[in-house]
Amino acid sequence: MGDDFYVRYYVGHKGKFGHEFLEFEFHPDGKLRYANNSNYKNDTMIRKEVYVTDAVLAELKRIISESEILKEDDENWPVPDRVGRQELEVVLGGEHISFATTKLGSLLQVQSSKDPEGLRVFYYLIQDLKALVFSLVSSHFKIQPIQR
């Protein structure tokens, strides 16, 4: 895998409580930036930055590579709408991909899309990436990345 590496994920919408979103990105030097903005019940924005080890970056690259997301195309995925949008950008091993789709609420929504196979790859990869990021953020900062 080449030295070029970058991952950014964003999911959000604009609604009754303003612009609510979750965003994280990994840089090639190991910097993980995390932001979660929710105005529900007057919550405030959570912003965190931490550097992860080379082992964490290697695992992140493995997860992305094994997902085969780099082979997918979002042309037949649902377009972002008033429900919200999700974006995933990945630079890995000389490849650069960028996806945009609507917020996906369930696997049923994925199954009924025009490209259920490709969207399923995206859906499960996002779940894996969010689990990794939430684990890193909560263990490093001893906070709950998602308010319960």
Read off the pLDDT of residues 12-59 as tens digits, 9 standing for 90 and up.
Answer: 988 776 778 999 999 999 999 999 987 666 667 888 999 999 999 999
Residue 132: pLDDT band (50, 70, 90) is very high
Q: What is the pTM of this model?
A: 0.87
Q: How far is CA 47 from CA 4, 28, 36, in A?
A: 25, 19, 7
**DSSP structural state of residue 76:** G
Picking from 39-53, 98-112, 114-128, which range would have the lowest pLDDT averaged per residue?
A: 39-53
